[in-house]
Amino acid sequence: MTRKGGLIVTTIKIKGMTCNHCVLAVTKALNEIDGIKNVKVDLAKGEAVFDEGMPIDMDLVRTGIKNAGYEVV
C-alpha cells in the first residue's frame, strides 16, 4: 500500500488467473466494491493494483475475488 496524492494505492497478488477472461472477472469484482477506483489487473504478474478513494476493508476485497473464483495471496 502506498499513497499517491490523497489516494491509497494498493497492490494485491492473485492466484488462479490464467487468461484475459480471468483479468476481466477480477477487474469486475474489484470495481463492484465501493471506494475502489482505477483497477489495473496484470495477468503476467498475477496482481491487481487499485486506488482506494476511502479506506477499504480487505476482507471485502478477498471475498469479492474469492466469489469470482480466485484467491488473494
What average pLDDT does this structure show over 2-26? 90
| Separation CA 14–CA 41 (nearest Å) | 9
- Identify the pLDDT of residue 4: 60
- 9: pLDDT confidence band, cut at 50, 70 and 90? very high
Report the length, in residues, of the chain. Answer: 73
What pTM was estimated for this model as a whole?
A: 0.90
Position 17 pLDDT exceeds 80? yes
- Identify the pLDDT of residue 7: 80
Q: How far is CA 14 from the centre of its chain?
A: 8
Model confidence pLDDT, tens digit, residues 32-66: 999 999 999 999 999 999 999 888 999 999 999 99
Which residues sit opposite 37 in a β-bridge? 51
Domains within the chain, CATH numbers bracketed: 6-70 (3.30.70.100)
Q: Are 60 and 5 in contact (CB under 8 A)?
A: no
Range list of β-strands (E), the chain: 2-4, 7-15, 36-42, 47-52, 71-72
